[in-house]
């Protein structure tokens, strides 16, 4: 029998019917927004002290619960997928001050919710299945959180050193953490402001780790996005933000192939960090960077990117605009322009931008014959990767 790493000696019992778990969840999730509404109402009614762990507005949080639980249930019998996902959730929940005693409360509310929506289909056998599955889920998360606590804090305090408004929508922030924060170029960190307590949004540092703890963030103000609006419009030098542990490996480089980087808007940030990493490597690789914007005035950091030209003689930078007719450079969708500059038979392709831009570019790459394994994306829109983008029960992430 396979064993969950980090879950002691417990395993998923052979008698647990994982198909029955998935089928029951499929039925329950069909009730849509009623499910998380009932779940959180039950949780807060039975354990009112938990309410303060959540943001004041719960509408976005309720939507994310379904995705998180669905991901857990869908992979509960696939250890290779489930364990990294659950371990990351456990580590990430530390920034919400989640402790061991919170997990039973969540489990009880979950079982009550399932029983409510399944009605007569909620049998003793199904109750045992869900109890066993949730028991393992919570054990893995608790174990990962305890292990993480031995080596890192639940969050880092970061002083805002500089806040520069580059365009009407974009600001570049320089932060300095109060203790060393180790991360890989291309990873992301969650950020919380005192102006939007208990609401976190993920951003990719635009620089490799520095000895002085300085991190550069590129923030685009999104319509209706409370965290991004606060970071762009209201944060000033001297303010303190909270920064969570780094997550994600989709946009990191661990090979020596030449690369194509396709960025939309502030999707340029992780690629700027990757350029810093490549500049420090002991070998030269070919790098093609396609930076997309609506108009030339929306390029918020071309000068910062072009500064790498001397250190990277094989770097090619192609600015692309989609809406400015008078632009003298490349015009069109940045993904389409990048692929038309190919073919890229050996290159690793990295894509970062808005959800729609990433989805379109990914489809274009597939149509161009570029294998999925060579296309690296991170869009933070659909909880598509274990241990990277899926929010959990306690999270209040702003990704819009």
Residue 13 lies in a domain: no
Examine the domain organization and report whether 237 and 271 are in the same domain.
no
Residue 113 lies in a domain: yes
Residue 359 lies in a domain: yes
Q: What angle do CA 389, 31, 64 make, to 5 degrees?
A: 15
Last residue of a domain, one of 187, 213, 243: 243
For the chain, residues with pLDDT lower than 70 are 1-15, 55-66, 74, 79-80, 379-400
Examine the domain organization and report whether 313 and 194 are in the same domain.
no
CATH number of the domain where residue 359 is located: 3.40.50.80
Examine the domain organization and report whether 350 and 302 are in the same domain.
yes
106: closest CA among 36, 57, 155?
A: 36
74: closest CA among 4, 7, 13, 19?
A: 19
β-strand 375-377 against 348-352: which pairing, if any?
Answer: parallel
Examine the domain organization and report whether 127 and 223 are in the same domain.
no
CATH number of the domain where residue 170 is located: 2.40.30.10
Examine the domain organization and report whether 164 and 145 are in the same domain.
no
* CB burial of residue 59 (10 Å; 0-12, 13-18, 19+): exposed
Residue 392 lies in a domain: no
Examine the domain organization and report whether 36 and 128 are in the same domain.
yes
Examine the domain organization and report whether 273 and 373 are in the same domain.
yes
Provide the 3-class DSSP secondary structure of residue 158: strand
Examine the domain organization and report whether 118 and 34 are in the same domain.
yes
Which uninterrupted H or E stretch holds 55? none
- How many CA atoms are closer than 13 Å to the CA of 346, on its beta-carbon side? 7
Examine the domain organization and report whether 48 and 119 are in the same domain.
yes
**What is the structure's pLDDT at 197?**
85
Domain range for residue 60?
Answer: 18-149
Neighbours of 120 (CB within 10 A): 5
CATH number of the domain where residue 109 is located: 1.10.490.10
**What is the structure's pLDDT at 84?**
77
Which structure tokens are listed for 135? Answer: 């028991």
Examine the domain organization and report whether 142 and 174 are in the same domain.
no
> What are the beta bridge partners of residue 203?
189
Examine the domain organization and report whether 134 and 163 are in the same domain.
no
Last residue of a domain, one of 109, 125, 149: 149
**What is the structure's pLDDT at 151?**
83
Per the structure, the count of domains in the chain is 3
Examine the domain organization and report whether 51 and 161 are in the same domain.
no
Residue 254 lies in a domain: no
**E strands present in the chain:** 156-165, 170-177, 189-193, 201-203, 214-220, 240-243, 259-264, 287-293, 315-321, 330-331, 348-352, 375-377
Residue 382 lies in a domain: no
Residue 399 lies in a domain: no
Last residue of a domain, one of 187, 211, 243: 243
pTM for this model (two decimals)? 0.78
Residue 104 lies in a domain: yes
- How many CA atoms are closer than 13 Å to the CA of 281, on its beta-carbon side? 20
């Amino acid at each position: 029998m396979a064993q969950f790493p980090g879950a002691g000696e417990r395993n998923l019992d052979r008698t647990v019917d994982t198909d029955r778990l998935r089928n029951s969840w499929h039925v329950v999730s069909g009730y849509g927004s009623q499910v998380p509404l009932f779940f959180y109402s039950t949780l807060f009614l039975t354990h009112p002290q938990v309410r303060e762990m959540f943001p004041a507005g719960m509408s976005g949080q309720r939507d994310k619960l379904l995705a998180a639980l669905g991901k857990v249930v869908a992979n509960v019998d696939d250890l290779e997928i489930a364990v990294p996902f659950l371990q990351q959730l456990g580590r990430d929940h530390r920034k919400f001050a989640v402790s061991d005693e919170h997990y039973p409360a969540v489990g009880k509310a979950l079982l009550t919710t399932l029983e409510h929506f399944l009605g007569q289909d909620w049998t003793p056998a199904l109750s045992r299945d869900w109890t066993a599955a949730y028991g393992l889920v919570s054990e893995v998360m608790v174990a990962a959180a305890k292990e993480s606590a031995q080596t890192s804090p639940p969050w880092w305090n970061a002083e805002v050193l500089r806040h520069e408004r580059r365009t009407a929508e974009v600001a570049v922030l320089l932060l300095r953490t109060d203790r060393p924060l180790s991360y890989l170029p291309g990873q992301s960190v969650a950020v919380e402001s005192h102006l939007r307590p208990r609401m976190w949004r993920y951003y990719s540092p635009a620089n490799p780790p520095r000895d002085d703890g300085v991190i550069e963030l590129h923030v685009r103000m999104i319509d209706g996005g409370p965290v991004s609006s606060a970071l762009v419009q209201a944060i000033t030098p001297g303010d303190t933000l909270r920064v969570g542990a780094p997550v994600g490996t989709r946009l990191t480089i661990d090979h020596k192939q030449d690369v194509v980087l396709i960025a939309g808007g502030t999707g340029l940030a992780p690629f700027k960090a990757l350029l810093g990493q490549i500049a420090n490597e002991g070998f030269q690789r070919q790098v093609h960077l396609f930076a997309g914007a609506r108009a030339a005035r929306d390029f918020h950091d071309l000068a910062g990117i072009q500064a790498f030209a001397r250190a990277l003689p094989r770097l090619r930078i192609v600015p692309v605009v989609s809406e400015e007719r008078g632009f003298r450079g490349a015009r069109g969708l940045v993904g389409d322009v990048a692929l038309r500059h190919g073919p890229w038979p050996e290159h690793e392709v990295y894509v970062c931008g808005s959800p729609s831009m990433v989805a379109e570019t990914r489809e274009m790459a597939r149509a161009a014959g570029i294998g999925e394994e060579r296309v690296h994306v991170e869009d933070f829109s659909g909880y598509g990767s274990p241990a990277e983008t899926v929010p959990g029960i306690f999270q209040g992430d702003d990704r819009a």
